[in-house]
Chain A
Amino acid sequence: MAGFMKRYRATIIAAVVLAVLAAVLFLLALPRGASGRLIALVHGGDGAVHELPLDEDAVLEVATPLGTNTVVVEGGSVRMDAADCPHGDCLRQRPISRPGEQIICLPHELWIEIVPEDGASSGMLDEDAVSYPDDVDTVAG
């Protein structure tokens, strides 16, 4: 046995390193929390963070000195239902339901992100995570 170990030591080390590398890559590639419950974190312009589970329909009105937004959870996705911001760009963003997606209302400094139930906030606005209808890159008008 000792002779076997000695003879194939390098092979075994290589196999272990490759296995660990493959496992790490596999875990990184897995969508986090894909099988669990999802939460919409609504970050208000006043710094308050509201948690809305996506599996419970709900209406949340966030009113801060910057303005008022109405966020609706319905059928497993969350959308901006109403906002008194100047241009209504947040209302043009598609309802979101997947981890990492965001809806942003910049004038009101309010943003919504989807995270797994046990997941933490990404902590940052990510315009690229905003999705538009029909997979367009941006919307005119």
Chain B
Amino acid sequence: MITRRQLLIGALGLGAGALTACAPRPAEELSTTVFCFDTVCQLRGAMGQEVLDGAVTLCERFEQLFSRTIATSDIARINDAGGEPVVVEPETSDLISKALGYCEESGGLFDITIGAVSSLWDFRNGIVPSEEDVAAALPHVGWRTVHVDGATVRLDDPAAALDLGGIAKGWIADALISYLVGEGVESACVNLGGNVAVLGSKPDGTPWRVGVQDPFAERGASIIARTDIADGSLVTSGLYERAFEQGGRRYWHILDPRTGYPVETDIVSASVLSERSIDGDGFTKQLFFNDPESGLADLAARGLHGLIVRADGTMLSTPGAPFTLL
């Protein structure tokens, strides 16, 4: 026999339970923002603190390995080796091997030995190198001088210098996603200064909604397009990044390996939607060297999607590209 009191206490418990159930059950979603790779990196997703901390530690490791300006990095040691072979970490040899693939595919328009020239430019402080310095450095740009043999990397040309700035973030984004997959994470978003890679959908099951920076907004708070991604990457390169004006001429950070000067183009922003972020990084830069139509046709032939914004504001994309233009 249930007493009235037991009944009431039971009802009370049920009522409280029902009220609690009304509140949405918070998914364990963590996020962090770190300054790495000369930019702001955001990591978020449904994961434990230890896994997130592990991702940050990886970022720090990759920075120590790949930064051209950290004297002890693998890249700096290769550049300073005077053409001697240098034993590097497996991540570095993997990054360089994959990067060389994009150099070859682009016919040298993307070149990781741009370091001899890029080190002369200072886009942050608006410094244009002298014509003589550029001319002297240009012969040392040539990706065929790079040789990767297992864990050893060698530059045939002692004056050549690697600069992986155009590809490392894509590789790192993929590496972070692989790490998260290995840790059993099913939902995450990595944004390395504008290189976005996502794992799965958001914790609530909807795809990640990724915007494309408006190249005309002077870093204003506006986007020109967006796309919904579940597993994949969106990389956008824009001439608005680290650009400056001097003597009535505008200089931007994507250098033409044939001239040593910023690439001449009427494209102001190029985005690539791909499965792997390294493809996004490797192929966006190439778009600036082509006319938009053939660049996008090339992307489509590779099974990738792209979006190009020209200086006159017109936008072009690959057929069927899942971008919502705003």
Contacts and interface: CB of A to CB of B under 8 A. Distances in A.
A97 interface: no
Contacts, number: 118
A127 B16 contact: no
A91 B35 contact: no
B195 A21 contact: no
A34 interface: no
B202 A137 contact: yes
Contact of B40 (A17, A22, A107, A140): A107
Contacts of A128: 29, 31, 44
Given A127-B42, A136-B226, A140-B234, A87 B193 contact: yes
Contacts of A48: none
Contacts of A89: 39-40, 193
Contacts of A127: 31-33, 42, 44
Interface in A118-141: 125, 127-128, 132-141
B319 to A, nearest CB: 21
B150 to A, nearest CB: 35
Max chain B C-beta neighbours (<10 A), residue from A21, A92, A125: A92
- Classify the interface of chain B: helix, strand, loop or mixed: strand
Interface in A52-102: 79, 86-89, 91-95
A10 interface: yes
A139 B33 contact: no
Contacts of B11: 14
B213 to A, nearest CB: 3
A132 B217 CA distance: 14
A140 B33 contact: no
Contact of B33 (A10, A104, A133): A104
Interface in B11-58: 11-12, 15-16, 19, 29, 31-35, 38-40, 42, 44
Contact of A106 (B40, B211, B213, B241): B40
Contacts of A132: 211, 221, 223
Interface of B: 4-5, 8-9, 11-12, 15-16, 19, 29, 31-35, 38-40, 42, 44, 124, 189, 191, 193-196, 202, 208-213, 215, 218-223, 226, 234-238, 241, 269, 271, 326
